[in-house]
Amino acid sequence: MCKAMERIRAKGKRETMLATAKRMLKSGMLALKDIAKFSGLSLAEVKKLQASMA
């Protein structure tokens, strides 16, 4: 049961990181490297997210 809870938490954390990055991208106020730094995602992930939002 503990491993299942860890997976659920990890998924929730990942979703939060993605949602945060999306809001930052929509604002258009930050550089991609800053979004990566503040959201906890890699720069490559932020670029991929940006492309998927276009």
Instruction: Provide the pLDDT for residue 54.
Output: 84
Cβ-contact 36, 43 below 8 angstroms: yes
Q: Who contacts 39 (Cβ-Cβ below 8 Å, separation ≥6)?
A: 17, 18, 20, 21, 24, 46
Cβ-contact 43, 32 below 8 angstroms: yes
Give the residue among 51, 49, 27 at the shortest CA–CA distance from 36. 49
pTM (2 d.p.): 0.85
One digit per residue, pLDDT tens: the chain, 54 residues? 689 899 999 999 999 999 999 999 999 999 999 999 999 999 999 999 999 998
